[in-house]
Structure 1
């Protein structure tokens, strides 16, 4: 099955042909996918080698000349290792770029902890002005890549994954999408966790919102959903658990509410395993999610039933 990353090089290669502002900066990872594009556009496809700080610095330099740089490598080498350059070369200099990651939370377990970055979105949250896309299907990845490159000179992070939902959903690069309505709580499913969430909540009377753009956080969609479904909110994110909990709390600050943040735990898993092993170990498989979500949204119902007893 085609992955999001399989779609990356062909899509960006076409963007290089279509838009003379687009440039690509690589740090060895993914270079083979741009061989033909580099032949056609040798001045706009740059491979800096295994120098991730230079990757970001070079991209910022291209942005200062008026180009729209697309930077790509594994998330741990794109966000964590060169974070100072992301903060200063892009943020402080007020120039934009499109950062496109792969591997992220645990997509390549055999690479070990050096190739895992479950805290990438949380780390970018310490900076101002970033848009963050988390597609859940290769078609969504293509649409969001195109949206990111076309987003003027904004700072955009696109988080690609080997995990994918069974089918794509329409994405607009902005708000959350309602995929299921209920009356006993709201579950926000981010990117590739949607299928497991829908399997988990089968039979539960909850609303499900699908999020592929998580920053800016769609506070309006969450508030509207809680008006009919109640203010018990579960966030299921494919990265560090609780990353979006502050944003959900801010969205509902003026009403009594509860938020449960589910995602990748902080404890390091020291056995490689495979992706499915890591999903299960962090409680993000459908069976574990059903238990955790069901217990959370059922607490208020049980409390209400108890209060009604004489």
Structure 2
């Protein structure tokens, strides 16, 4: 990986700019990243609110701010922000029609040493139980600012999922919600979400597949999937719970013969530490595991 600013730092920089630019923007914290926003808080103490280690309160405060006409951003680790605070997301945001932007760090298992309390592979699937949410999964720090600005400006509730895992290069088209064709082929569409692009490119080297990249998964561009999945075979590679977006692929292709292979974080809890890179092969998300799954999928294609 080349040296570059990480996603959380880009988030902090963008939040600082947004608060300077728009008096409606506020950020609500639960200690996480509060030290990085101290200077911003000193200039705008009324719009940088740290409630301490009270994540449910954080979301409730964001909901209250939204009801006054503010555009709040709530930020913490993914399991604390989405799973621990889900009742407040459902009621204080969704039920009250209050719009906020949730921005997480930690992804599925970025901090493996933190154990299960800091892992959230089911976060996007959980938000999928609520209507109307946008979900952005940047794959590079340079994608964070544009995606966050889009989320704040869209006047809807949105989830921006940051990660320590990044692709080597940014893909600006992904910040517009498009599926970018990175490699063309005929046997299948392999759709890589966010930081899964580089592992997918390594895994599919030499295979006759189209590789598409997407950083906005809600809404997912179903028309692009219909256009790109010419063979009817789709491999979906997501950095969270396997199969999270499979229903949308089915919706896109429900009027034609098709097959879908869903790759992502498995449902079996890995009760061990190690590094994220050591967890990848256990979920089949390293390049060798992805290639094995894709090859087996293509080989098992029914005879026409």
What TM-score, normalized to structure 2? 0.97
Q: Deviations over 1:59-115 (max 9, x none)?
A: 000001111001000000000001010001110111111100000200001111011
Match of 2:295 in 1: 294
Using the alignment, how far apart are the partners of 2:208 and 2:35 within structure 1?
A: 48
Alignment partner of 1:32 is 2:35: yes
Check if 1:91 corresponds to 2:127. Answer: no
**C-alpha distance in 2, partners of 1:193/1:49?**
33
How far 1:285 sits from its partner (Å)? 0.5
Query: Which residue of structure 1 aligns with residue 253 of structure 2?
Result: 252
Taking only aligned residues, the RMSD between alpha carbons, in angstroms, comes to 1.0
For 1:69, what is the secondary structure of its paired residue? Answer: strand
Pick aligned residue for 1:144 from 144, 147, 167 = 147
Report the 3-state secondary structure (helix = DSSP H, G, I; strand = E; otherwise coil) of the residue aligned with 2:56. helix
Matches of residues 51-130 of structure 1 in structure 2 within 5 Å? 51-130=54-133
Aligned 1:1-310 pairs, distance under 5 A: 1=3, 2-151=5-154, 153-170=155-172, 171-227=174-230, 230-300=231-301, 303-304=302-303
Contact 1:219-1:248 within 8 A present in 2 as well: yes
Asked whether the 8 Å contact 2:8–2:105 carries over to 1, the reply is yes
3-state SS of 2:224 partner = helix
Contact 2:143 2:175 in 1 (8 A): no
Q: Displacement of 1:178 after TM fit?
A: 1.3
Shift of 1:172: 3.3
CA shift for structure 1 position 163: 0.1
Number of equivalent positions: 300
CA distance in 1, matches of 2:176, 2:64: 26
Q: Which whole-Å CA distance do the structure 2 matches of 1:140 and 1:298 have between them?
A: 35
Runs of 4+ in 1 over 6 A off after TM superposition: none
CA shift, 1:270, in A, is 0.8
Q: Which runs of 5+ in 2 are unaligned?
A: none
Distance 1:104 1:120 in 2: 9
1:172 alignment partner, SS class: helix
- 3-state SS of the aligned residue for 2:255? coil
Aligned equivalents of 1:19, 1:278: Cα separation in 2: 41
Task: For residue 245 of structure 1, report the CA deviation from its aligned partner.
Answer: 0.8
1:36-64 per-residue CA deviation (whole Å, 9 max, x = no partner) reads: 00011010000001111100000000001
Aligned 8 A contact 1:133 1:173 in 2: no
